[in-house]
Amino acid sequence: MLKTRVIPCLDVKDGRVVKGVNFVDLVDAGDPVEQARIYDAEGADELCFLDITASSDNRDTIFDVVARTAEACFMPVTVGGGVRTLEDIRKLLLAGADKVSINTAAVKNPDFVREAARKFGSQCIVVSIDAKSTGPDKFEIFTHGGREPTGIDAVSFAKQMVEYGAGELLVTSMDRDGTQSGFNIPLTRTIADAVHVPVIASGGVGTLDHMVEGVRDAHASAVLAASIFHFGTYRIREVKEHMKAAGIPVRED
């Protein structure tokens, strides 16, 4: 069985991490670079950056933050949030991102994913799918932080994105995000079983068992969480030890 990646996610606004952090050994709790350094030292397998900068005026700060973070850690870095053009991708990759995650732009213009994969290679194009259960075995894509329904079926969209060259899918359950009640297992599993690229489960992690469920029950190749790491509820190492005890292979130092 493949080693499952454990991915902490940083929500970054105007160049600063917005969720609170309780790491005692941080010099500057709001600096994403400081946090990335700690996650790196703790054995995180990848880092995900979500730029939630509200105003487009501050967009350029992300390139600087990505550059400084990529310099601070020796693990792969994925950057998402506001990726809309090939030029955005080029700038992020040059700043040191290994992969970019495309969300709204993929929903609005699926061909953008095809162009991006052709230009930069599938391995660095992650499509981020925000979806909710809207009925039994029905999953719909939502945009604008889960507020706007699109009428698009999440599973068909996932298949289309893979066909267009996405190398990985980041599946976030909008009905679970922030609830700490666990991943939306049917959503993640249905998508993971429908495609042949790695799927990252996201949204809803509150306990160590949720991480195990993401792999064992939802068939994800990687598990992503923000709050439990930000607030220091669990450390990366604890997650890995728990998964290992549950029979899920992880990378060990």
Partner 1 sequence: MTELLIVNYDAGNIRSVERAVSVCGATPVLSSDPEAILNARLLILPGVGAFGKCISSLRGKKLDLPVLEYIKSGKPILGICVGMQMLMEGSCEFGYHKGLGLIPGEVRKIPDKGGDGYPHRVPHVTWEGLEPKKQAWEGTVLDGIVPGADCYFIHSYAAYPEREQDVLATCSYNGVELCAAVRKENLYGLQFHPEKSGPIGLKVISNFISLGDRSC
Is residue 159 at the binding interface for partner 1, with CB under 8 A as the rule? Answer: no
Is residue 14 at the binding interface for partner 1, with CB under 8 A as the rule? Answer: no
Question: Site for partner 1 (CB under 8 A): which residue of 122, 143, 180, 207?
Answer: 122
Is residue 197 at the binding interface for partner 1, with CB under 8 A as the rule? Answer: yes
**Smallest separation, CB 171 to partner 1 (Å):** 14
- Say which amino acid occupies 116: A
Restricted to residues 204-223, the positions that interact with partner 1 (CB under 8 A) are 221
**Smallest separation, CB 118 to partner 1 (Å):** 8
Is residue 241 at the binding interface for partner 1, with CB under 8 A as the rule? Answer: no
Place of tokens 């709050």: 227
Task: Report the DSSP beta bridge partners of residue 80.
Answer: 50, 101
Question: Site for partner 1 (CB under 8 A): which residue of 71, 137, 148, 163?
Answer: 71
**Smallest separation, CB 102 to partner 1 (Å):** 16
Known active-site residue 217: no
**Smallest separation, CB 122 to partner 1 (Å):** 6
**Smallest separation, CB 192 to partner 1 (Å):** 9
Residues 6+ apart with CB under 8 A from 168: 99, 125, 126, 127, 197, 198, 199, 200
Known active-site residue 60: no
| Cα 144 to Cα 142: distance, rounded to the nearest angstrom | 7
Nearer to partner 1, 12 or 73 (CB): 73
Phi, psi of 189 (to 5 degrees): -65, -40
Is residue 163 at the binding interface for partner 1, with CB under 8 A as the rule? Answer: no
Joined together, the tokens standing for residue 156 give: 């068909």
Question: Site for partner 1 (CB under 8 A): which residue of 30, 110, 198, 206?
Answer: 198
Q: In whole angstroms, how large is the CA radius of gyration of the chain?
A: 17
Residues 6+ apart with CB under 8 A from 76: 45, 46, 47, 98, 99
Question: Site for partner 1 (CB under 8 A): which residue of 34, 168, 177, 213?
Answer: 168
Reported residue count of the chain is: 253
User: To the nearest 5 percent, what fractions of the chain are helix, strand and coil?
Assistant: 40, 25, 40
Nearer to partner 1, 75 or 246 (CB): 75
CB of 82 closer than 8 Å to CB of 68: no
Question: Site for partner 1 (CB under 8 A): which residue of 2, 28, 137, 231?
Answer: 2
| Cα 101 to Cα 94: distance, rounded to the nearest angstrom | 15
CB of 40 closer than 8 Å to CB of 74: yes
Nearer to partner 1, 76 or 110 (CB): 76
Restricted to residues 87-116, the positions that interact with partner 1 (CB under 8 A) are 93-98
Binding site for partner 1 (CB under 8 A): 1-3, 5, 40, 43, 45, 67, 70-71, 74-76, 93-98, 120-124, 167-168, 196-198, 221, 251-253
